[in-house]
Chains A and B, each alone.
Chain A
Amino acid sequence: MDLDKPKKIFIVDDDAMLTEALKDYLTRRTPNEIHIFSTGEDCLRHLSQNPDVIILDYYLNTVQKDAANGMEILQVIKKHYPDLHVIMLSNQERYAIALQTIQKGAEQYVIKDENSFGKIAAMIREF
């Protein structure tokens, strides 16, 4: 089987443990290029680097109260780069939220649990 083509991946989450673990997981088999941002605004400033995928936390303003939340960031990304793959991450298993994010253009809505790393990796392989 061919090795997957390395991709440029942005991870946006204020939980350091998650971003670190996700980075570990996504670079394990394929030399993907990972950039980590703890706020959505920071991610937006770097969009010109043309990432292939953005993994975006839904709840981004727990640490910095005035930061924009994932949904707002998603809308901005999609406005400027409608074809960019965005995977939404969330703590909560809420169908309504999932639906909203997908309608706003997210590729998929993934719940943070033991299986989420594998799910995300599989999805990125498909892009």
Chain B
Amino acid sequence: MKNKAILFIAISMIAIYAIGQKQGQARIDSLLQQLTRSKEDSNKVKLLNDLSYTYRTINSDEGIKFGMQSLSLAGRLHWKPGMAKANVVTGINYHYGKANYPKALEYYLQSLKINEETGNKSGITSSLNRLGLIYYSLSEYAKALDYYQKSLRMARESGDNTAMQDVMINLGDIYQKQHDYPKTLDYFNQALKINQAIGNKTGCARALNAIGYVYRLKKDFVKTHQYSEEAVKYYESDGNKQAMAAELEDIGDLYRQEAEYPKALKYLFKALRLQKELNDKRSVSYNYGVIAYTYFLIATDRNKTILNKLFAGNKPAAIKRSLTYVDSSVAIQKELGDLYLLQDTYISTSQCLEQIGDYKGALEFYKNYITIRDSVFNLEKDKKLTQLSMKFEFDKKQATDSLQHAVENNLNQLRLQKQKTFTYAGFIGMALVAFLLFVVFRNYNNQRKSNLRLHAAQKEILEQKERAEQSEKFKQQFLANMSHEIRTPMNAVMGMTNLLIDKDPRSDQQHYLEGIKKSSDILLHIINDILDLSKIESGKMELEKTDFSLRQTIEQVIVTLRHKADEKGLYLLSDIDGRIPDVLIGDPVRLNQIILNLAGNAIKFTEKGSVQIKGILASGDPSSVMNIRFLVIDTGIGIPEDKLETVFESFRQVNASDTRKYGGTGLGLSISRQLVELYGGEIKIESVEGAGTTFSFALNFQTGSAERLLQHTSSQANMDGRILNGLKILIADDNEYNRIVAYDTLKSKADVEIESASNGHEAIELLKLHDFDVVLMDVQMPEMNGFEATRLIRTNLPSPKKDIPIIALTASVLRTDLDKCRQAGMNSYIPKPFNASQLIRGIAEVLGIKIRTLENTIEEKKTGSSDKSLVTDMSYLNTFCEGDRKKMQKYIAMFLQSAPVLLEKVNAALAADDFIMVADQLHGFKTKFIMMGMKNTGSLSLILEQHCRSDSKPATIHSDIKALLRDVEFAVSELK
């Protein structure tokens, strides 16, 4: 049965293909026949143009071939309208068939030139419109707008309604790109009216489709469906199958977005049939991709109703179906040689497979992606080279043309003179020969020179590039060093300011101190910016992966910028999509930095209105990977089209004078962009001069754990310094002021005894004489630096002094430098400039002292959880055993048997401080936690196992492990 059905589908698919091939071929055959019969050359040009146009979707290489033939024939006939048209059709083949925009642009420009020469108004209108389209494809919207408006004016003048509606649709598209929906709808509705008036059905359909799409963007899907369905009817009654197919595909895609998968598939397959009938391979391949993605979504959707209905709940079968369509899509893309589409297909399939944990499949597709990416890169390189050599050929041709022109002129003069006087003929002839020789030689020389110039230019470019790279390296090194050098004295400035503020100053003094504090905060901010940028550029920036609250991160940005916005009377708003869970996994510090920079920038350049921060769930869902799009929308001065590219360059603002007016280093945007790129995203800008700018970027996140977040945040809270009471601390720092800052900060917060040393030697001497609990060691000191001193302490001092905890104080935050600290034998580090909390926490951690605030939270959590609910949950085991009591008992017995062994071994290992042993014991228990439904205990165990295996264990590790063991004890008593 099943096999027969498949066979039937296969046969009908082949049949449909054959029909499509026939239809396209029929038109071409008839055109070719007419061509052989045609006697008149201008008619041949027309037919050739028609052929070229017909081939555009079937085979653009052929299309280009016929276009060129037409061009040369029309050229020989000096028939300008034919030439103009030939240029247009060739351009269309390059534009839509090859996506070779520079080539297409060249042909469109040529058609405009010819039409202008002959004053052919409808021709000019069409050429201008085409030019608008090509700039639209190139995303150069200002230029596109300009051409469209010119075209519209021309069409109005000549009362060309068909052209008018066409341009209006294109104009609407441009405004749509800029999110100006009222204007967009205005143009589309005008186009619709014109089409209704002139009875242009396809035109009506196109306008309806366009209007529908605007509503889709506005998320008014009911209206979208209304307009789209109406458009389908118009296309159908006009017999415009190609457009009808595209419309059906759109509707299908919309249903996919609405998670109405069966409806989506219905429409997509309808479209597919038409596309095959038309033999429109590119659309077929694209549609296959959409179908594949729809099946993937069916497979992975948390709501399993559709999966159950279509695949009897068999997820692998759905995935397999999806991959079959990917394969079909790939096959066509290979046939078409569309590397760009292929590249997209490979990478998105790889990402989908990675998402469902099919790493092997993901790797396969990723490998293919890399191969294609390399070819695309080579292709781009070749394209650039071709462009260069084309430019060269063009210059050469111009030179030859002017030469010919000169020769012809001379010949004409010669003829005239010949008629007048024969006597001069010989002389003039000789002069002409001499002149010709001279011109030819000059031309040859010019060519040779320009060849040489080209080589020289290439060489110079290479040299300049090398020099630039070299100086870029120096710049980075210099910046990194400078920021490091500046951070050291900044530590003293900021530390002492904080100390003074705590000393209850007079109100006028308070005022000055606040000034110093604020200014040094800004200064530190700038230094950090510079350091970040050089870190990113040298590839040393690493992104953290930690649980964080997205809404809190955005709120932080709002709080930081609130007063700036208030000062200017701006509304500062934020809006996070309700579907995004609150806790995500990512790097909150960097995300904050990106959005803070973008929003801060927006406030700077906005005089009235609002700055809005938005977060939208663009795709994916909280159970797997989410793609979240962030938008920063302002109503400011906007950015001129031609400056959009330069906005991100380091040290640059749009006008150099803006730096004085708006302040800032100009680094913020550059850093934001590079951070987003590091995250695998891209910042996009859309701007309308005078109306505002929207910066947006999309990043991938996974849902995080609120529990882990709670532990994390409580560890960042303000520290109670009294936990250090009674300690004896040694501070080694060559900078007197920094010693004072560390000394006074600690003294003001805790009752501790402190000794100071100004270099490594002194520190070691003091250590020999007295007993200390901990050493704070500056890394860079004269005579003996912190690394050396630490090494000597670890090797030369007698036990237990050689094991004293040593904390590095360092102005460097580079991973490599921190690694050096560890290698030298230091236990941890505190970055400069530090505040009191960081200092207290750093010391408490290496000494294993419980931190006051953290302890409280953990206590609260423990009592909360054990009171409220059970540790175990039998629902998983019940499902797993399909309700078989006996089997359930077997697993419970296994757990009860192994639990005491775990408790005993872990306790023994803890007593011996053998954390690897603890980790190994926990490792073997993972499945047991799963089977007993101990979800929280399981994830806690995983984290603890990692902590146990890592060098840096949190101070709470002992108590955390004990808590886990308590969970196991609870479980045992629940299960008995």
Q: A-side interface residues toward B, CB under 8 Å?
A: 14-18, 20-21, 24-25, 28, 59, 62-63, 91-92, 95, 98-99, 102-103, 106-114, 117, 119, 122, 126
Shortest distance from the beta carbon of B400 to any chain A beta carbon, whole Å: 58
Q: Judging by beta carbons under 8 Å apart, are A25 and B894 in contact?
A: no
**In the complex the two chains form, is A110's CB within 8 Å of B357's CB?**
yes
A20 and B880 alpha carbons, distance in the complex (Å): 12
CB of A26, distance to nearest CB on chain B (Å): 13
Task: Tell me which residues across on chain B come within 8 A of A92, comparing CB atoms.
Answer: 942
Among B363, B920, B928, contact of A102 (Cβ-Cβ < 8 Å): B363
B740 to chain A, nearest CB (A): 46
Tell whether, in the assembled complex, residue B363 and residue A62 are in contact, meaning their CB atoms are under 8 Å apart: no
Q: Enumerate B847-877 residues with CB–CB distance to A below 8 Å.
A: 876
Closest B residue to A61 using CB positions? B920
Q: Is the CB of A21 within 8 A of B931?
A: yes
Query: Across the interface, do A111 and B357 meet the contact criterion of CB distance under 8 Å?
Result: yes
- A24 with B887, Cβ < 8 A, contacts A17-B898, A62-B923, A122-B316 known: yes
Indicate if the CB atoms of A17 and B895 lie closer than 8 Å: yes
In-complex Cβ contact of A99 among B357, B363, B876 (8 A): B363
Mark B residues whose CB is within 8 Å of A.
315-316, 354, 357-360, 363, 876, 880-882, 887, 890-891, 894-895, 898, 920-921, 923-928, 930-931, 942, 945
CB distance B894 to A20 under 8 Å?
yes
Q: A16-B894, A17-B927, A112-B927 are in contact. Are A91 and B316 (CB under 8 A)?
A: no
Closest to B941 in A: A91
Q: A20-B891, A62-B924, A108-B360 are in contact. List 18 more A-B contacts (CB 8 A).
A: A17-B891, A17-B895, A17-B928, A18-B927, A21-B891, A24-B880, A59-B923, A63-B920, A91-B923, A91-B926, A91-B942, A99-B359, A102-B359, A107-B360, A108-B359, A109-B357, A112-B926, A113-B930
The CA of A14 and the CA of B927, in the complex, are separated in Å by 11
With a cutoff of 8 Å between Cβ atoms, the chain A residues found around residue B927 in the complex are 15, 17-18, 21, 112
The 8 listed contacts between A and B (C-beta, < 8 Å) are: A15-B924, A17-B894, A21-B891, A28-B882, A95-B359, A99-B359, A102-B360, A107-B360
Main secondary structure of the interface of B (DSSP, over half): helix
Contact A112 B920 (CB under 8 A): no
CA distance A15 to B945 in the complex (A): 16
Which A residues are CB-close (under 8 A) to B891? 17, 20-21
Bound-complex Cα distance A25 to B876 (A): 13
- By a CB distance below 8 angstroms, the chain A residues around B923 are 59, 62, 91
Partner of A25, one of B880, B920, B924, B930: B880
The closest CB in chain B to the CB of A118 belongs to B315
Q: Is the beta-carbon distance between B359 and A62 smaller than 8 angstroms?
A: no
A14 to B316, CA, bound (A): 29
7 A-B pairs closest in CB distance: A62-B920, A18-B927, A98-B359, A122-B316, A17-B927, A17-B928, A62-B923
Q: How far is the CA of A103 from the CA of B930 in the complex (A)?
A: 29
A107 to B364, CA, bound (A): 12
Interface contact A114-B359, CB-CB below 8 Å? no
Once the chains are docked, how many angstroms separate the CA of A122 from the CA of B927?
20
Least CB distance, B849 to chain A, in whole angstroms? 31
In the bound complex, CA of A63 to CA of B359 (Å) = 28
Beta-carbon nearest neighbor of B876 in chain A: A114
**Closest chain B CB from A104 CB (angstroms):** 12
How many whole Å from B624's CB to the nearest CB in chain A? 12
Contacts of B924 in A (CB 8 A): 14-15, 62-63
B432 to chain A, nearest CB (A): 76
- Of all chain A residues, the one with the shortest Cβ separation from B320 is A126
Chain B residues with Cβ under 8 A from A95's Cβ? 354, 359
Q: How far is the CA of A103 from the CA of B876 in the complex (A)?
A: 34
Q: Which residues of B contact A109 (CB under 8 A)?
A: 357, 359-360
